[in-house]
């Protein structure tokens, strides 16, 4: 039996795979996570991270941001796929807001809006980030609370895969994008689902402008950041919830990491453009 099969058959992973089918699982889990981390302002960006090939591709960060360099590097890599200066950008699933705040400060969009499903997440963001043109609101990506043609860019970092209805999200994304607007996505997904996503975007009228597989750079970041994440989880998360925290943080012993290692999952970056209209 392979390492992945052993992990898949353990009690926690079997339980998780059943629970995640519940439509409200993501909201409940992240509400709990943000509540547990509510006083920890040094953990603002939770994703698998990205290790650039060259130092020249690394963002210049403030000293207080250095501990989250790899997580912020994933945002820098994603946002760099398109010049964002002067544009109106919406991030879907903005979490604890560190990524949206980084993009707002370093990539200079006209406005940067973080849409987050959890109340505790938005409370944290509003308490920790205040800047003209930066906003965080509670909302569902399947029912985006904005008028048609509100944004030049919709961005998603490790959120798209968790949505319970991808077709509904794509419809909403198309609705709020301005003609010719862009969807930028960096995410982990199972190999068998990846082609389905491309097909759904194509059927919706989106033009795929670029796709890049970055699994190796993400796994390198997961390795490099593993110790920090495990220490942080031990410091902040009650024992009964640590396995779940390791799962979502992507520690090297977690089920998501092993799926990447064995090639069952991939990590991709995608840039797609909406039609220009009539």
Q: What is the pLDDT of residues 6-48, one digit of tens each?
A: 555 565 555 555 555 545 556 566 666 666 666 666 678 889 9
Q: At 108, is the pLDDT very low, low, confident or very high (cuts 50, 70, 90)? A: very high
Quick one: which of 229, 161, 190 has its CA closest to 4? 190
Higher pLDDT, 126 or 2: 126
> Mean pLDDT lowest for which of 20-29, 35-44, 106-115, 218-227?
20-29
- In the chain, the domains with their CATH numbers are 3-273 (3.40.50.150)
For the stretch 134-163, pLDDT in tens is: 999 999 999 999 999 999 999 999 999 888
Average pLDDT over residues 245-256: 85
Residue-wise DSSP of 166-213: HHHHHHHHHHHEEEEEEEEEEEEEEHHHHHHHHHHHHHTT-EEEEEEE
pLDDT reading at 2 higher than 50: yes
Longest dimension (CA), the chain: 56
The pTM for the full model equals 0.89
pLDDT reading at 186 higher than 90: yes
For the ranges 181-195, 225-239, 248-262, the maximum mean pLDDT occurs at 181-195
Enumerate the β-bridge partners of residue 134.
112
In whole angstroms, give the CA distance from residue 97 to residue 95.
Answer: 5
In whole angstroms, give the CA distance from residue 191 to residue 207.
Answer: 21
3-state helix, strand, coil in the chain (%, to 5): 45, 20, 35
In whole angstroms, give the CA distance from residue 215 to residue 179.
Answer: 31
Instruction: Give the chain's mean pLDDT.
Output: 87
> Mean pLDDT lowest for which of 9-18, 161-170, 171-180?
9-18
Quick one: which of 208, 142, 209 has its CA closest to 173? 142
pLDDT reading at 196 higher than 50: yes
pLDDT, position 278: 46
**What whole-number percentage of the chain has pLDDT above 90?**
63
Task: Find how far residue 94's CA is from the centre of its chain.
Answer: 7
Query: At a CB cut-off of 8 Å and minimum separation 6, what does 165 contact?
Result: 142
Q: Do 136 and 126 touch, CB atoms closer than 8 A?
A: yes
């Amino acid at each position: 039996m392979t390492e992945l099969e052993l992990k898949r058959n353990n009690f926690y992973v079997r339980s998780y795979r059943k629970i995640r089918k519940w439509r409200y699982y993501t909201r409940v889990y992240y509400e709990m996570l943000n509540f547990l981390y509510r006083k920890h302002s040094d953990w603002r960006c939770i994703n698998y991270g990205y290790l650039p090939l060259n130092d020249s591709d690394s963002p210049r960060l403030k000293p207080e941001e250095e501990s989250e360099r790899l997580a912020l590097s994933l945002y820098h890599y994603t946002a760099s796929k398109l010049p964002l200066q002067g544009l109106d950008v919406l991030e879907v699933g903005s979490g604890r807001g560190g990524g949206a705040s980084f993009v707002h400060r370093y990539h200079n969009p006209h406005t940067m809006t973080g849409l987050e499903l959890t109340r505790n997440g938005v409370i944290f963001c509003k308490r920790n980030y205040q800047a003209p043109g930066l906003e965080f609101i509670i909302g569902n990506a399947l029912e985006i609370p904005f008028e048609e043609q509100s944004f030049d860019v919709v961005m998603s970092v490790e959120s798209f895969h968790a949505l319970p209805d991808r077709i509904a999200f794509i419809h909403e994304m198309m609705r709020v994008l301005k003609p010719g607007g862009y969807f930028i996505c960096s995410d982990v997904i199972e190999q068998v689902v990846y082609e389905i996503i491309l097909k759904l975007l194509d059927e919706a009228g989106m033009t795929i402008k670029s796709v890049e597989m970055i699994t190796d750079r993400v796994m390198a970041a997961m390795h490099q950041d593993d110790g920090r994440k495990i220490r942080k989880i031990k410091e902040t998360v009650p024992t009964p919830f640590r396995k779940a925290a390791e799962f979502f943080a992507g520690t090297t012993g977690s089920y998501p990491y092993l799926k990447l290692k064995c090639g069952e999952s991939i990590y991709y970056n995608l840039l797609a453009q909406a039609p220009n209209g009539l």
